[in-house]
A and B are shown apart, each in its own frame.
Chain A
Amino acid sequence: MRGFTLWVTGPSCQNNSILSRAIEEELLERGMKVELLNIDAVQSCLLGDSDDPLVSINEGMKSVGFIAHLLTRNDVVAICSYPSPRSSSRDEMRKLIGRFVEVYCECALDNLKKQGISMEEWNAYEKPDKPEVICDLEKEGHEECAHKILKTLEILGFIPPSDDDEAYSEDEEDKIRQRLQDLGYI
């Protein structure tokens, strides 16, 4: 299986982190090589030096992106939920890495406020134009979001289809055969 980068982005770092950890576990369970690059994991060594936190984050993001690129080309799945408010930076990552899947984690303003995110921070965030997946953790819940992301990865051919979601189980195949026979199609 070839590597790829799953970039989870959205105004709420907390939600991004939760979602990326859920996907990490699902892919680990499927026996894949996965690394999670979120802010907790890389904070101490990758944050840039600037006094301006946004600049600092963007510099850190370049390092994270580079690591993701190395992992991807060595056939490891890199899940990044590093804060990435600027869409131009994310597009740069996409260009660099190639096998890149962007997950936009929407978050309603009310929920952002509950998480203590300021209007300024929210305004600084630039929504992606064409993410491969859009989800809303509060509206859809963990399972639904994770399922959507995994299904998209399967459809786009980044991961093999899971047995559980195999189109037809043996049992279903029998039922399908029966149904088609009933109608005289086979």
Chain B
Amino acid sequence: MGRLLVIGLDCATPQLVFDRWKNLLPNLTGIGDRGRRARLFSTVPPITVPAWTAMMTSKDPGILGFYGFRNRKSYEYEDLYYANAKYVKEKTVWNYLSRNRKKSLVFGVPQTYPPKPLNGVLISSFLAPSKEVEFTYPKEIAARLDEIADGDYMIDVRDFRTEDKDWLLESIYVMTEKRFKAFKTLYFEDEYDFAILVEMGIDRIHHGFWRYFDENHRLYEPNSPYVNAIRDYYIRLDQLIGELLQMLGEDDAVMVVSDHGAKTMIGAICINEWLIEKGYLVLKEKPTQPTRLKTEMIDFEKTTVWGEGGYYARLFFNVQGREPLGQIPAEEYESFRDTFIRDLEAIQDENGKCIGTRAFKPEEIYHQVNNIAPDVIAYLGNLDWRSAGSVGTGTIHMFENDTGPDDANHAEEGILIMDFPSGSYRQIQDVQSIYDIAPTILDYFGIPVPRDMLGVSMIREEVR
């Protein structure tokens, strides 16, 4: 077999890549035409952390033991901690490849900071705190990164929830160009069996510019100068991908994946305001202006549920014998949760219409539930609405995000496009699972797929 290149486009979404702009993206479309394409079903929840790690390990968030960027440390009422690579205990594809003497270039995969050793080179993602820390393996690479990225490598755009759209757009382009340049330079410096590059720009541009191109968006501005911002960026990305494809030989394979998709966000449900209204959450003092909820503001002796904001809602229960001032009797936990879920499912929009919220119980959707999962995971309006954690907003429905402008929410399906040289695939459905990516990669290199991986290989033996 030859080499394998995986291009990760965080948040790249099928309705744009496969449908709307199919003809404007010759490289991405070409890979799919020669090989296969499918929508890629993400994790629950469909967010960057844990989706990329789930993809690279073929383990679900419950097995991994983290359910988002921020997770509860313990059943105490402290604030959440940020899950970094130290919390990833499951083996990734590059761990297995290293064990089998295959060399990997791992560039920008989320949740790889702090970097761990491997056979090859690893450059952490935007989750590294800054370039001042050791964010590459080997550590000497970091010093060269600025130089090979044409000066000042950008780990991420500084603040994508900003009003300054011109600045944001420029930053996204600069960041992308530098990343691709650095990746190509490193790729040619050595012989890598496996290489993966994850570009964050699409996620940033979706969140920042969705309202300008989607006529259905509440804040759509016709004739905005940014109407084609997203489209043009996809086109540029496709060109950069074309340059990467030129690096490959006949025997080499390529996959393009995204960790989740995107869609219009109607608005935000102030989940904690809703909990207060329903009597689940009681604060010591009601704030008069929008304030980020901190656990020290909560009167836990009168509270049964509190929530966290994000693209989906995490709900935490205050249980007797579990939390220090637990209120829900342990034996009533399940019945309480069922009632609570019914309440969640009945949430309405500002006009009184039910928004179709979906709720999940961790033990029902994960193979194991490690560390501390939220008691309920909710897709507000089936992800048409995000969750805003602030209190003191005076309303349950908000149409500007509480943490800065953000137009798009995540969707459950991302993209998968692949071209394996011998072209021999198992049955590829319209929607494939994110857990099938890692097994496919290992299978391509002739490495037996570990039995504890959740997915299966998508290619057949003759491909190798």
What is the interface of chain A, defined by CB distance below 8 A to chain B? Answer: 25-26, 28-32, 163-164, 166, 169-171, 174
Q: How long is the Cα–Cα vector from A166 to B101 in the complex, in angstroms?
A: 25
Q: With A30-B117, A31-B118, A163-B114 given, is the CB distance from A170 to B99 under 8 Å?
A: no
State whether A31 touches B137 (Cβ < 8 A).
Answer: yes
State whether A28 touches B98 (Cβ < 8 A).
Answer: yes
Whether B89 is near chain A, meaning CB under 8 Å from some CB there, is yes
Q: What's the tally of chain B residues with a CB closer than 8 Å to chain A?
A: 19
Q: How long is the Cα–Cα vector from A166 to B89 in the complex, in angstroms?
A: 13
List 19 contacting pairs A-B, 8 Å CB cutoff, sorted by A.
A25-B99, A26-B99, A28-B99, A29-B91, A29-B117, A30-B98, A31-B98, A31-B117, A31-B118, A31-B119, A31-B137, A32-B117, A163-B114, A164-B89, A166-B86, A169-B86, A170-B86, A171-B73, A174-B73
State whether B116 touches A163 (Cβ < 8 A).
Answer: yes
Chain B residues positioned under 8 Å from A29 (CB to CB): 91, 95, 98-99, 117-119
Q: How long is the Cα–Cα vector from A26 to B96 in the complex, in angstroms?
A: 10
Whether B75 is near chain A, meaning CB under 8 Å from some CB there, is no
Interface bits B207-243 vs A (CB < 8 Å: 1, else 0): 0000000000000000000000000000000000000
Whether B81 is near chain A, meaning CB under 8 Å from some CB there, is yes
What is the interface of chain B, defined by CB distance below 8 A to chain A? Answer: 73, 81, 84, 86-87, 89, 91, 95, 98-101, 114, 116-120, 137
State whether B81 touches A171 (Cβ < 8 A).
Answer: yes
Tell me how far the C-beta of B144 lies from the nearest C-beta in chain A, rounded to whole angstroms: 18
Chain A residues positioned under 8 Å from B81 (CB to CB): 171
Tell me how far the C-beta of A161 lies from the nearest C-beta in chain B, rounded to whole angstroms: 11
State whether A163 touches B119 (Cβ < 8 A).
Answer: no
Q: How long is the Cα–Cα vector from A23 to B78 in the complex, in angstroms?
A: 40
Q: How long is the Cα–Cα vector from A128 to B101 in the complex, in angstroms?
A: 32
Q: How long is the Cα–Cα vector from A169 to B101 in the complex, in angstroms?
A: 29
Chain B residues positioned under 8 Å from A166 (CB to CB): 86
The winner among A26, A28, A32 for most chain B CB atoms within 10 A is A28
Contact residue among A28, A169, A174 (Cβ-Cβ distance under 8 Å from B119)? A28
Residue of A nearest to B120 (CB): A31
Q: How long is the Cα–Cα vector from A174 to B98 in the complex, in angstroms?
A: 32
Tell me how far the C-beta of B253 lies from the nearest C-beta in chain A, rounded to whole angstroms: 23
Chain A residues positioned under 8 Å from B95 (CB to CB): 29
Residue of A nearest to B117 (CB): A31
Chain B residues positioned under 8 Å from A31 (CB to CB): 98, 117-120, 137
Q: How long is the Cα–Cα vector from A171 to B98 in the complex, in angstroms?
A: 28
